[in-house]
Amino acid sequence: MQQPTLEHTTQSPETWPDVIGQARTLAETLPDLLVEAKHIANTVSAGWHGRRRAGPGETFWQFRPFTMGEPVKRIDWRRSARDDHLFVREREWEAAHTMWLWSDLSRSMAFRSRLASASKRDRALVILLALADLLAGGGERIGLTGLTRPTSHRNAAETIATTLSHASQPVSLPDTDAIGRFSEVVLIGDLLDPTEEIATWIKRVVASGARGHLVQVMDSVEETFPFAGRTEFRDPETGIRLTAGRAESWREAYQERLRRHRAELHELTRKAGWTFLVHHTDRPANEPLLALHARLADNVEAAAEPVKGMRGA
């Protein structure tokens, strides 16, 4: 029996009326999603402490104990006079970091079950816009991969929303030509493309010297496969239809296929030194934001180190 596939198949390009219709729907939705993203960004801002570290700059960061072998001129004598130890005044590293963001807006992302509060596309956009708002507030340079140049303006989220509202036919894996060394890439989508395509894309980003973070946005129904009886499945990307006489008999094979696909994604990101997290649309949108914050903060110290190659990926 043919099993349901998680991978997208290829077909002739969509007709222009379909593309225009999708673009109009996205343009109409984005203002509301931007408001929601701003609200979520505000709710998590208390736990968003930036990505500070010591380095060249003018802003005082902290005092730390003097280490033998350091130049004596680094000692802060006024602070040291109040204690029995010598202290060094550290400044905050102020070099802006470049963050490239991308959200998959292809047709498969429009899926929404009755259990979810939002479609995968809308949730991915909210995460992207909220992340842009928070990062811009911390002084980072934000760019939309393949569409905009990095900007450090505090209205980066608005700029990205405007750009997306005028974007042409969406793609799941964006162009990587503008990505450079020491930058970071955040890719948000259902990541159900063939793993070979995702591996090729990751290799290109790794070759540029950048680091990456993958966020897989899934509807809980896509995990549990609760279908039973005669059920028709349709591929939103190609329109191909597949009918199951007893859908419940496919559940175990489907879940195993999904498990293998996700394990392959884990392995790809592990070999690249990237991070990978899964978010379900029946969960609050602030959860992946806080998780991304932890992963981005962990990558700050490693940002200046050489990126390891992908062994066997």
Give the model confidence (pLDDT) of 253-277 as tens digits: 999 999 999 999 999 999 999 999 9
H/E element, 245:
none
pLDDT number for residue 47? 52
Tally of CB atoms within 10 A around 312: 6
pLDDT number for residue 57? 45
Decide if pLDDT at 107 tops 70: yes
Give the lowest-confidence range in 4-18, 83-97, 129-143, 162-176: 4-18
Interacting residues of 65 by C-beta distance below 8 A, sequence separation 6+? 85, 86, 87, 88
pLDDT number for residue 38? 86
Tally of CB atoms within 10 A around 118: 18
Q: 63-67, 151-155, 178-182, 227-231: which has the highest mean pLDDT?
A: 227-231
pLDDT number for residue 26? 62
Mean pLDDT rounded to a whole number for the chain: 79
Q: Which of 147, 146, 186, 191 is nearest to 172 (CA)?
A: 191
Tally of CB atoms within 10 A around 304: 9
Mean pLDDT of 132-157: 85
For 197-220, write each residue's pLDDT tens digit: 999 999 999 999 999 999 999 999
Give the lowest-confidence range in 22-36, 153-167, 262-276: 22-36
Main-chain dihedrals φ then ψ at residue 98, nearest 5 degrees: -95, 125
Three-state secondary-structure class, residue 275: strand
Give residue for tokens 């593309």.
19
More confident residue, 275 or 168: 275
- C-alpha dihedral sign at 64, 65, 69, 75: positive
Percent of the chain with pLDDT over 90: 38
More confident residue, 75 or 245: 245
More confident residue, 143 or 70: 143
pLDDT number for residue 267? 97
Give the lowest-confidence range in 28-32, 131-135, 189-193, 214-218: 28-32
More confident residue, 60 or 194: 194
Decide if pLDDT at 35 tops 70: yes
pLDDT number for residue 48? 55
What's the order of all strands across the beta sheet hosting 211-218?
Answer: 141-144, 98-103, 184-189, 211-218, 275-280
Enumerate the H helices of 144-250 as residue ranges: 156-165, 195-207, 220-224
More confident residue, 165 or 195: 195
Mean pLDDT of 272-293: 92
For residue 78, give both structure tokens. 């006024």
**Structure letter (DSSP) for residue 14:** P
Give residue for tokens 């259902």.
190
More confident residue, 78 or 58: 78
For residue 191, give both structure tokens. 């990541």
**What pTM, to 2 d.p., does this model score?**
0.73
Decide if pLDDT at 300 tops 70: no
All structural domains of the chain: 16-51+95-300 (3.40.50.410), 60-91 (no CATH)
Mean pLDDT of 117-129: 92
Split at pLDDT 50, 70, 90, the class of 96 is: low
Mean pLDDT of 75-101: 77
CA distance 142 to 243: 44
Please answer whether residues 275 and 26 qualify as being in contact, where contact means their C-beta atoms are separated by less than 8 angstroms.
no
Percent of the chain with pLDDT over 70: 78
